[in-house]
Amino acid sequence: MKKVLRSIVVDDEEFCRRDLVETLQQTSQVEVVAEASDLRQAVVLTKTHQPDVLFLDLNLHGESGFHLLHQLPSVPAVVAVTAFTEHAADGFAHDFADYILKPADVTRVQQAIHRARSHILVKSLSTKPILNLEINGKTRALSITDIHEIRSSENYVEVYSALGVGLIRSTFAKMIQRLPAGFCLEVGRGRVIARHQIQTWQRDKQGHLIINLKSGANIFVSKRSQKQVLQDLTLLGQ
């Protein structure tokens, strides 16, 4: 049985806050241990309860929800809940678990919970080696957060990491199965990037979608994948 996630809901609008709490209760996967209507309350309650996940409105009485994160010694998984999409890129830069638009139905909230679980798992594995990769003639042990990008290459996969690029003899599908659910974002056939590496994104003059990674790499998204990737990045239509 999966652990029930302890959560705090932060929203300055009582109706929206209650609506989300009721939706979370429908899932039976989350226990709401506290509610906050402003930043001051949110800071105190988060430090007191140390939740697994924060459901955070990014606009609180004219203050930015991002300010809360700078006041916490340890930041839990964060799911942004907002009526606007303009902060989506900032959400990825702050390593949010998910970013959902109001009003969120139970299916969308369940997806956010799933992503929060994956986010928590990735953080827990951040220092543990998950695979050995030969880079420049040396075998290196990679943790999950070392991985930036994975590409299919016939009977091998190319792994782009913080330590360099290496080949592993494996099918692409089997390699992806070794990673936590929700860890990757498909940007083309046989090509994925690590969500935690996403910095921002934009279109070039030709209309190509480009994702900028924290590593400095610029990833061109295939035409086939652009619609789904944009939905995933901005969470429109979900």
pLDDT attached to residue 156? 92
46-76 as b/e, with b when 16 or more CB fall inside 10 Å? beeeebbbbbbbbebeeeebbebbeeeeebb
The percent of residues in the chain predicted with pLDDT above 70, rounded, is: 92
- Give the tens place of pLDDT for each residue, 185-218: 999 999 999 988 888 888 888 889 999 898 889 9
pTM greater than 0.85 (yes/no): no
Q: Where are the domains of the chain?
A: 5-124, 129-234
pLDDT at 237: 34
| N-terminal to C-terminal alpha carbon distance within the chain | 27
Give the residue, 234 or 43, on which the prediction is more confident. 43
Count the Cβ atoms, other than its own, within 10 Å of residue 204: 10
In terms of Cβ atoms closer than 10 Å to its own Cβ (0-12, 13-18, 19+), residue 34 is middle
**Could you tell me the pLDDT band of residue 175, with boundaries at 50, 70 and 90?**
very high
129-234: CATH architecture: Beta Barrel (2.40)
Domain 5-124 class in CATH: alpha beta
CA-to-CA distance for 178 and 133, rounded, in angstroms?
14
3-state SS assignment for residue 204: coil
Pairing between β-strand 191-194 and β-strand 63-64 as defined by DSSP bridges = unpaired
What are the tens digits of pLDDT across the range 54-74? Answer: 999 988 887 887 888 889 888
Residue-level pLDDT at 133: 87
Q: Of the candidates 202, 234, 238, 236, which has an alpha carbon nearest to the alpha carbon of residue 92?
A: 234
